[in-house]
Structure 1
Amino acid sequence: MRTPSRWQRLKDVVLSTDPRRRTLVGMALLALVLMMASAGVMLLVAHSDPATDPTFVQWWAAMSVGGLVVMTAFIRSGETVHLSDPSLTIPQMVWTITSGAVAYVLAGDARGLVPSVLAMILFFGTFGLTMAEVIGIGVYALVAFGCAIGVSARFSANPYGYLDTAYALMVMIVLGGCVALNLRIQRIRARLHEQRAALARALEVNRELATRDELTGLINRRAMQDLMELERRRNARSGRPLLLAQLDIDLFKRINDQHGHATGDRALQAFAGVVRASVRDTDVLARWGGEEFVLMLCDTQPDDGRELLERIRLAVAAMEIPHATGTLRLTVSAGLAQHLPGQPLEHTLERADQALYTAKALGRNRVVLAPAGTRPAAGAAAATFNART
């Protein structure tokens, strides 16, 4: 196993090894770096502008950066994972907007720097918010900076002039523009979410169509082959018995010829419903083609499988399917074979098929179990399997 580099180990210590938490901590650290940069600019202004009180700015910088440091540490600890807002986006934005409003008051003649910082805050933080939260944050920012503008005008040593008006207007323009743009982004995100949901539903429908028989709702032959192959591998590892049964509705062509294909379709649906109601949840029934069905019985002994097929045969014989001229009754013949370890699945299916033909030859409406030691003739099994698939 490759040893992590020193840089990778440092990242794991700072960001955590949990993928989701790494993302949250990374975003929080980015917000912290941006706040530190803004605090650095304000400290530079305080150092250069004699009208600005450096003590107030230093306290402001310490509080602003310190608040985000605490939130970042809280996120890194993992204590926020179970919260509805694990990234603490709203607390971080409220804190930084409040900090920005205070900075507007403290910056004096350099307060024109604040709108750019405000825009960065609003753009950075609102991508993970809902529409209502974006509006709420926008309203809070308008109120906070409205108060800051009022306080700045009230306590400024210089008379209120056109530059102060320009700064105030710029703050309101930036706030309004940011809120409007973020609402637009939220609408785009909502539309994309709807499109993804619609695409997921369409893919699920296509997947169902690809693996399900439309008439009976059973899985189709292709899906059944995949499941049988998975079960064959599991059987080879565990040694548990695996049975395959071929079921065929007796004289089904006569039903279509005498009563029409619509009645035949109803008969197939009724048959599938009765068989599904008779088997266990772990058993798998598939429509193999026409009136033929394949039943896979996992972890089932041959005698138990034969008993189950007998119950199915009796349940099918007891069915009554109404149609235009009376009531239709069905019978089913079944051939059952146990899968032999090391043998291909097509051999097992062919043995079940041969047992089915034996049941037909013996008069139909019966279950025949294939002898465990028999194998189909070489080449015949594969040819029959390929022809059916």
Structure 2
Amino acid sequence: MTTVSACWRALTDLVLGADARVRRRVRLSMIAVWGYSISSVLLVYAMQIGLVARVPGEMLLAYMWVGMTTFYLLVRTDWSTRLGSPGMDLPQCLYALVAILFAYAITGPVRSSVLMMIALVLVFGMFTLSARQVFIMGAATVLGLGVVMATLVQLYPAEFDPKLELIKFVLAASTLPAVSAVAFYVAQVRGRLVQQKAELRKAFDRLQDIATRDELTGLVNRRHMLSLIQQAMQRQQRAGEGFCLALIDLDHFKRINDLHGHQAGDAALRHFAETARAELRQTDTLARWGGEEFLLMLPSPDPGPGGALQALGRIREALQAQPLADGSLRLGFSAGITEHPAGEALDLTLERADRALYAAKAAGRQRTEVLPVPAPRERPLVKPAQV
């Protein structure tokens, strides 16, 4: 059963594609495949019983299958996106309209029934075309039908009665705009729904950003950082992926506020955040912990104190090389680093990082201290805290 499922999955991926967006577009194209297939069967039958001449019938068959295959390949390979029409919706509808008008010209006594397929194409357009494209399709349908009927009357007056063709055209020309109007309205509603969905997504992303990020610096906020650390602790329990924490405090930040004002203090916080992010790995997470304090989490690979020291060293060098404001103010920081051993409560790790930070400040600031993890027998046996 597993082999059958795997083979079926491979077959569907081959036909529809593995990408979800491409699969949706190919499925819609399969509606056209179904329509062309039924039409082809009926056309072959009409040729066999003499309703349709063989040469024009074969020409129409070739036209349908070449077009259907071409559109399928364009959508399946996603070349349609490069051409500016991912689903090739309007081109497919216009191509089908030409096929229907061709069929109207060659199907003899049953040609009137062929006109019903135009409405089917317009209904399909309700769910795939934009409002502007529906208008183009409706106008092309009425114009194309009028041109074909007039041409047939001129070329074959004995077979096509002008009065009868005029009645057919007036009926079609009065009915098709109504169908087009409905399709136009549906397309407008669908367009508004798509726009509203996009706006809701933007609003949701904005709310999520507000809930998880510090507004001033753009860094992860304290609440979200605690959640990320909890996830890292769970990965550590499952896969042994350790991590380090570094508690960082900007040196003499109060002096910056007192001498230069709170705007300069805010600029200093943003400057530190931007500089630090530029020097960190994508897997590292820096959060504003509170005030002028920041918390840095450095996960595997190589999350040891040596790697953390190097990362903080790069940040310190970058801050010295990029002074703030007029160049007279260079930021410095003190930091405390420690590892988080599996099974230890988070508050104990944070307390150890805080003691390392205090040691760095006591030693003269603008430095980093590492506080190693106590031996197992010296650590309290406490389960990981639920954050």
Give the TM-score normalised by structure 1: 0.72
Give the match for residue 98 of structure 1.
98
Give the match for residue 150 of structure 2.
150
State whether structure 2 residue 226 is matched by structure 1 residue 225.
yes
Calculate percent identity across the aligned residue pairs.
Answer: 34
Give the match for residue 214 of structure 2.
213
- Of residues 280, 299, 308, the one that matches 1:305 is 308
Shift of the 82–278 alpha-carbon distance from structure 1 to 2, 3 Å rule, reads closer
Give the match for residue 28 of structure 1.
32
CA shift for structure 1 position 17: 5.8
Question: Which range is displaced more, 213-222 or 79-88?
Answer: 79-88
In 1, Cα distance between equivalents of 2:11 and 2:157: 48
| Kept after mapping to 1: 8 A contact 2:344/2:381 | no
Give the match for residue 128 of structure 1.
128
CA shift for structure 1 position 227: 3.5
Map 1:341-352; keep pairs closer than 5 Å: 341-352=342-353
Give the match for residue 336 of structure 1.
337
Map 1:44-63; keep pairs closer than 5 Å: 54-56=50-52, 63=59
* Count of residues in correspondence between the two structures: 373
In 2, Cα distance between equivalents of 1:250 and 1:204: 34
**Post-superposition CA distance 1:20-51 (Å, at most 9, x none):** 276155323322255258759x949x97xxxx
Give the match for residue 81 of structure 1.
77
Q: Which runs of 5 or more residues in structure 1 are unaligned?
A: 48-53
Give the match for residue 295 of structure 2.
294
Select the structure of larger CA radius of gyration.
Answer: 1
CA shift for structure 1 position 243: 2.1
In 1, Cα distance between equivalents of 2:303 and 2:164: 88
| Kept after mapping to 2: 8 A contact 1:75/1:86 | no
Shift of the 159–75 alpha-carbon distance from structure 1 to 2, 3 Å rule, reads closer
CA shift for structure 1 position 198: 2.2
In 1, Cα distance between equivalents of 2:10 and 2:316: 66
Map 1:272-283; keep pairs closer than 5 Å: 272-276=273-277, 279-280=280-281, 282-283=283-284
Give the match for residue 50 of structure 1.
none
| Kept after mapping to 2: 8 A contact 1:60/1:99 | no
Aligned AA (2:31): M
**Post-superposition CA distance 1:217-252 (Å, at most 9, x none):** 211123323443454566667767632111123565
CA shift for structure 1 position 80: 5.3
CA shift for structure 1 position 172: 1.8
Question: RMSD across aligned C-alpha pairs, in angstroms?
Answer: 4.7
Question: Which range is displaced more, 143-152 or 84-93?
Answer: 84-93
In 1, Cα distance between equivalents of 2:58 and 2:10: 26
Give the match for residue 373 of structure 2.
372
SS at match of 2:79: coil
Give the match for residue 51 of structure 1.
none
In 2, Cα distance between equivalents of 1:309 and 1:337: 13
**Post-superposition CA distance 1:79-101 (Å, at most 9, x none):** 85243267665565445433433
In 2, Cα distance between equivalents of 1:11 and 1:202: 38
CA shift for structure 1 position 287: 0.5
In 2, Cα distance between equivalents of 1:195 and 1:305: 45
SS at match of 2:288: strand
CA shift for structure 1 position 336: 1.0
Shift of the 272–91 alpha-carbon distance from structure 1 to 2, 3 Å rule, reads closer
Give the match for residue 196 of structure 2.
195
Aligned AA (1:205): R
Give the match for residue 68 of structure 1.
64
Shift of the 131–358 alpha-carbon distance from structure 1 to 2, 3 Å rule, reads same
CA shift for structure 1 position 63: 4.6
Give the match for residue 167 of structure 1.
168
Shift of the 221–102 alpha-carbon distance from structure 1 to 2, 3 Å rule, reads same
Shift of the 57–189 alpha-carbon distance from structure 1 to 2, 3 Å rule, reads farther
In 1, Cα distance between equivalents of 2:125 and 2:355: 69
In 2, Cα distance between equivalents of 1:64 and 1:24: 23
**Post-superposition CA distance 1:275-295 (Å, at most 9, x none):** 445545554321012222111
Give the match for residue 245 of structure 1.
246
In 2, Cα distance between equivalents of 1:151 and 1:72: 27
